[in-house]
Amino acid sequence: MNLFDVYSLYDIEPVKGEGSWVFTADGTRYLDFYGGHAVISIGHAHPAYVKAVAEQAARLGFYSNSVKNSIQQKMADRLGRLSGYDSYQLFLCNSGAEANENAMKLASFSTGRAKVLAMDRAFHGRTSGAVAATDNPKIQAPFNATSNVEFVPLGDIDAVKGKLETREFAAVIIEGIQGVAGIRMVEDDFLRTIRTLCTSTGTLLILDEIQSGYGRTGNFFAHQHAGVRPDIITCAKGIANGFPMGAVLISPSIEAWKGMLGTTFGGNHLACAAAVAVLDVIKDEHLVENAAETGQYLIDRLTEMAARNSEITEIRGRGLMIGIEIKGSASDLRRRLLFEGHIFTGGAGEHTVRLLPALGITREQADIFLSTFEKFL
What single string gives the DSSP state of each residue in 8-32? PPPS--EEEEEBTEEEETT--EEEE
Taking only the tens place, the pLDDT of each residue in 188-229 is 999 999 999 999 999 999 999 999 999 999 999 999 999 999
Residues 154 and 187: their CA atoms lie apart, in Å, by 9
Query: Does residue 102 contact residue 87 with C-beta atoms inside 8 Å?
Result: no
Partner residues linked to 63 by β-bridges: none
Q: Give the pLDDT band (50/70/90) at residue 256.
A: confident
Q: pLDDT tens digits, residue range 89-103?
A: 999 999 999 999 999
Chain centre distance of CA 114 = 26
Instruction: Read off the pLDDT of each residue in 348-353 and give the average, rounded to a whole number.
Output: 94
Phi, psi of 238 (to 5 degrees): -80, 5
- Average pLDDT across the chain, whole number: 96
pLDDT confidence of residue 357: 98
185 within 8 A of 222, measured Cβ to Cβ: no
171: pLDDT strictly greater than 90: yes
pLDDT band (50, 70, 90) for residue 184: very high
Tell me the C-alpha to C-alpha distance, in Å, between residue 68 and each of 56, 63, 261, 337. 16, 9, 17, 48
Q: What is the pLDDT of residue 190?
A: 98
Specify the pLDDT at position 145: 80
Q: What is the pLDDT, as a whole number, of residue 142? A: 87
* Residues 56, 37: Cα–Cα separation, whole Å: 26
Could you tell me what percent of the chain has a pLDDT over 90?
93
The residue type found at 289 is E
The per-residue pLDDT for 8 is: 82
Q: For residue 259, what pLDDT is reported? A: 78
What pLDDT is recorded for position 5?
86
- Note if the pTM is more than 0.85: yes
Section 274-294 average pLDDT = 98
Check pLDDT > 90 for residue 260: no
2-61 pLDDT, tens digit per residue, is 889 888 889 999 999 999 999 999 999 999 999 999 999 999 999 999 999 999 999 999
* Kind and range of the H or E run holding 244: none
- For 336-364, b/e burial (b = at least 16 CB within 10 A) is ebbeebbbbbbbbbebbbbbbbbbbbeee
Q: What angle do CA 285, 287, 291 make, to 5 degrees?
A: 150
* Percent of the residues in the chain that have a pLDDT greater than 70, as a whole number: 100
Say yes or no to pLDDT of 147 above 90: no
Give dist(CA 168, CA 111) in Å, integer. 10
Q: In whole angstroms, give the CA distance from residue 296 to residue 304.
A: 12
* Helices marked H in the chain: 35-38, 47-59, 70-83, 96-111, 128-132, 157-164, 188-201, 269-284, 287-308, 330-339, 363-376
**pLDDT of amino acid 250:** 98
